Amino acid sequence: MIRSILYATDLGVYAPYVLQHAIFLASSFNASLYVVHAVEPMGLYAESVLQTYLDADELKELRSNGLNSVMKDLKKRVLEGFKEEIQDTERGSKLIKAVHVVQGDPPTVILEEARKLGVDMLVIGSHSHGTDSGIPLGRTASRLVQLCEIPLYLVPMLQHRAHKHL
């Protein structure tokens, strides 16, 4: 039985399309819907550039307050984007119980949130908006297909595929 669903979003171009699938599933199962967005940690190059321009105290302040501010802004952006998408869906806003924005490696963050929330299903898109169209699955989707221990609803991003007839 599906009582709760986690929708993992990259906030990309196709996120509203995948959200519609998550809302439909949650509505069909009368399930709670949770949302997670993983923010990848700053890379070594970006970190070294910041160290060039900021002293140790400024860098420490940026890491703590700046990151918190960015995470709050992202959470607000996710919520605002969803309001536009779910306004046509009467029950949509009632189905979404919480939005989590977490920093870390996306597959790791998604699996950890699914475990913490104890959800019964995970909904993701097959590709991010920046993925090469020749690859059948994006990096995050591929890792989740390999590691997920609960049912995984994978929304194909057909827009990425060249429609070639064999």
Q: Considering only CA atoms, which of 12, 24, 11, 6 is closest in space to residue 160?
A: 12
pLDDT score of 83: 66
Residue 10 parent element (H or E): none
Q: Which two tokens stand for residue 95?
A: 């189905």
The pLDDT confidence band at residue 142, using thresholds 50, 70 and 90, is very high
User: Is it the case that residue 162 has pLDDT exceeding 70?
Assistant: no
pLDDT score of 166: 43
Mean pLDDT of 107-124: 97
Tens of pLDDT, residue by residue over 51-85, are: 676 677 776 766 666 566 666 666 777 767 666 66
Q: Which two tokens stand for residue 33?
A: 């819907």
Spatial distance between the Cα atoms of 1 and 51, rounded to a whole number of angstroms: 51
Tens of pLDDT, residue by residue over 11-51, are: 888 888 899 999 999 999 999 999 999 887 766 666 666 66
In single-letter form, the type of residue at position 155 comes to: V
Tens of pLDDT, residue by residue over 129-139, are: 554 556 678 89
